[in-house]
Chains A and B, each alone.
Chain A
Amino acid sequence: MRGIASNVASVSASGIRRFFDIVADMKDVISLGVCEPDFVTPWRLREACVFSLERGRTNYTSNWGLLSLRKLISGHLKSLYGVDYQPEDQILVTVGVSEALDLALRAVVDPGDEVIVFEPCYVSYAPCVTFAGGTPVRIPTFAEDGFLPRLDDVRAALTPRTKAILLSYPNNPTGATAGREFLKELVEIARDADCYVISDEIYDRLTYVGTHTCVSSLEGAAERTILLNGFSKAYAMTGWRIGYAAAPPDVAEAMMKIHQYVALCAPITAQEAAVEALNAGEQSVREMKTEYNRRRRLIVKRFNEAGLKCGDPGGAFYAFPSVKETGLTSEEFAERLLYEKKVVVVPGGAFGECGEGYVRAAYATSLDRIEEAMARVAELVASLPGTAGDT
């Protein structure tokens, strides 16, 4: 009997997809719709991987990934956050954080288990929970709370079937960052409920306000935390498809079991580049972060000047301004901005229902382009009856 599996059929295609199809046919657009750096991978890293190819490093690696890479990851996490992960049995190199997320969910979710996600969030979270046989439990977050969930909402969402809380700070799409105290309380909740915490910290190095807190570093957190991170954002390595998970040994082993059968190992060339990234990429990370931070301040100011209220995103490379004042839905706003001004932003609803009323604008684009795009945003807003910009 043919037919698509129901848990796959039940998930609708990404809202972003439709937008992508419209943009694909248009010329000369300025895109603030991307979720990847405009920098190419630093030359040092690319050069190291070319060298690895010249030496004929084209084989499979251990299922876990190159031990040299896992040792570097372990040292990196230790030096940044003081956390202890054994390279031999606690760190798994994966095909991006994307694969690590899927493995983490499949490793711990039984059919019918619930996983709490905080929306707006990265588009993959709820679908991946569903694909793993679980039920996503969505908790909305609000601009007035800095897009952090209300802890009472989290407590109220717990049930005996709560298997994990999935979170990601700095956040895509809101740019929100979470402070130590907040995360401590969240870990406390997870401890009381005896559930896992899956923490996607892919934007950790792009924290502009305050310092990043690694969830695993909090007291009592490591034993229940599955830490996901990768190279895509910090090292501008999106296309390489390389990331990792760090977890308690039994969870890491379970994730490795799935990974071994479905992916075998992460691409060796990407692993070699990741080795170089951890050995010699720090300067590049700092330079890119400095540059993003300048653009961040500028774009936030421009949105507010244009009359679109935009909070201060402490991390990642997204601004998440409100378009409610315009009287348009976020989808209408994004469509008009695209058709009339040829600027791409992503409607907030793509990241969860509570994202409605907002749009995501990535500032991983050159300063000139941002200035031009924002001038066009201001033009559009000024032409709408609902608003008068404050400039």
Chain B
Amino acid sequence: MKDLHEILTILESDGRLTAEQIGDMLDRPAADIEKVIGEAEADGIIRRYKAVVDWDRAGQERVFAFIDVKVTPTRGAGFDDVAERIYKFPEVVSLYLMSGEYDLRVIIQGSTMQEVASFVSNKLATIDRVRSTASHFVLKRYKEDREIFAEKDADHRLAVTP
């Protein structure tokens, strides 16, 4: 279990490391690491591997919006059935049940503000038991998944020190 957690932490920061490399880092045979990773994938612990992309730098406009949604829960299902209707839309990047004033937080990605706005008014707001929505558009992404998007500082260290 301790191994699993350490391997997950390593993969969370760099998903492209090979089992050999991770094995060397943890002083374990690569085959063991492969097995742990394989099981974690099969058990749905590792969902997928992806890149953290700075789309501004890539020269493509992408619009991100956080939509706070108030929902009337039902006996039995609570918020889950509404949540399911929402997360099935491919536009929805993330969906969380929240404490506080709103119930659900939806993160949406689209290519234009128009597109996102129309998704909210046509699809989200019209779902049964959705009482209200509040949309917040992202103006600038400074940091995502622990990655700072600003220019990286150069390594200022002297090349040889005692």
Contact = CB atoms under 8 A, between A and B. Distances in A.
A198 to B, nearest CB: 18
B77 interface: no
B159 A20 contact: yes
Interface in A291-341: 294-295, 297-298, 301-302
A294 B17 CA distance: 13
Interface in B41-72: none
Contacts of A122: 162
Interface string B134-162: 00000000000000000001010111111
B25 A294 contact: yes
Contacts of A124: 162
A35 B159 contact: no
B162 A16 contact: yes
A29 B159 contact: yes
Contacts, number: 56
Interface string A19-38: 11001100001010111101
Contacts of A123: 162
A43 B158 CA distance: 21
B10 A34 contact: no
Contacts of A367: 14, 17, 21, 25
A346 interface: yes
Contacts of A350: 162
B136 to A, nearest CB: 26
A297 B157 contact: no
Nearest to A298: B24
Contact of B160 (A19, A38, A172, A297): A19
Given A124-B162, A294-B26, A36 B157 contact: yes
Interface residues of B, number: 16
B21 A31 contact: no
Contacts of B10: 294
B24 A38 contact: no
A34 B26 contact: no
B27 interface: yes
Contact of A24 (B21, B153, B155, B159): B159
B24 A33 contact: no
A34 B158 contact: yes
A172 B14 CA distance: 30
Contacts of A40: 153
A16 B160 contact: yes
Contacts of B14: 367
A371 interface: yes
Interface string B60-90: 0000000000000000000000000000000
Interface of A: 14, 16, 19-20, 23-24, 29, 31, 33-36, 38, 40, 122-124, 172, 294-295, 297-298, 301-302, 344, 346, 350, 367, 371
25 contacts: A16-B160, A16-B161, A19-B160, A20-B160, A23-B160, A31-B157, A31-B160, A33-B160, A34-B157, A35-B161, A36-B161, A38-B155, A40-B153, A123-B162, A172-B162, A295-B25, A297-B25, A298-B24, A298-B25, A344-B159, A346-B160, A367-B17, A367-B21, A367-B25, A371-B21
